[in-house]
Structure 1
Amino acid sequence: MIPSLLSLLAAAVLAGVDQLIKHWATAVLEPVGAMQVWPGVVELRYYLNDGMAFSMLAGQQTLLIAVTTVMLAAVAVYLVWKRPPLAERIAWTMVLGGGIGNLIDRVLAGQVVDYINLLFIDFAVFNFADICVTCGIALLFVDILLVETRRRKTETPQTAGDTPAQEGGAHDADA
Structure 2
Amino acid sequence: MKKNPIFWIVAIIALIIDQITKYLVVISFPEIGDTMPLWQGVFHFTYVQNTGAAFSFFQGGVGWLKWLSLIVSLGLMIFAWKEKLSKIEQFAYGFILAGALGNGVDRFLFGYVVDFLDFRLINFPVFNMADVCINIGIVLLIYATIKMSR
Residue 21 of structure 1 is matched in structure 2 by: 21
Q: How many residues align?
A: 149
Residue 111 of structure 2 is matched in structure 1 by: 110
- Rg (Cα) greater in structure: 1
Larger deviation: 128-137 or 63-72?
A: 63-72
- Paired letter, 2:25: A
Unaligned runs of 5+ in 1: 150-175
Residue 130 of structure 2 is matched in structure 1 by: 129
Write the distance in 1 (CA, Å) between the matches of 2:3 and 2:42.
39
More RCO (CA 8 Å, sep 6+)? 2
Unaligned runs of 5+ in 2: none
Cα shift at 1:60:
2.2
Write the distance in 2 (CA, Å) between the matches of 1:64 and 1:11.
20
CA contact (8 A) 1:29 1:44 kept: no
Write the distance in 2 (CA, Å) between the matches of 1:30 and 1:4.
41
Residue 95 of structure 1 is matched in structure 2 by: 96
Percent identity over the alignment? 28
Residue 58 of structure 1 is matched in structure 2 by: 59
Hey, which bits of structure 1, 4+ residues long, moved more than 3 A? none
Q: Deviations over 1:25-55 (max 9, x none)?
A: 0111344800011122200000010000232
Write the distance in 2 (CA, Å) between the matches of 1:147 and 1:30.
48
Residue 11 of structure 2 is matched in structure 1 by: 11
Write the distance in 2 (CA, Å) between the matches of 1:9 and 1:58.
32
3-state SS, counterpart of residue 73 of structure 1? helix
CA RMSD in angstroms comes to 1.6
- Paired letter, 1:102: N
- Paired letter, 2:11: A
- TM-score (normalizing by structure 2): 0.92
Larger deviation: 56-65 or 94-103?
A: 56-65
- TM-score (normalizing by structure 1): 0.79
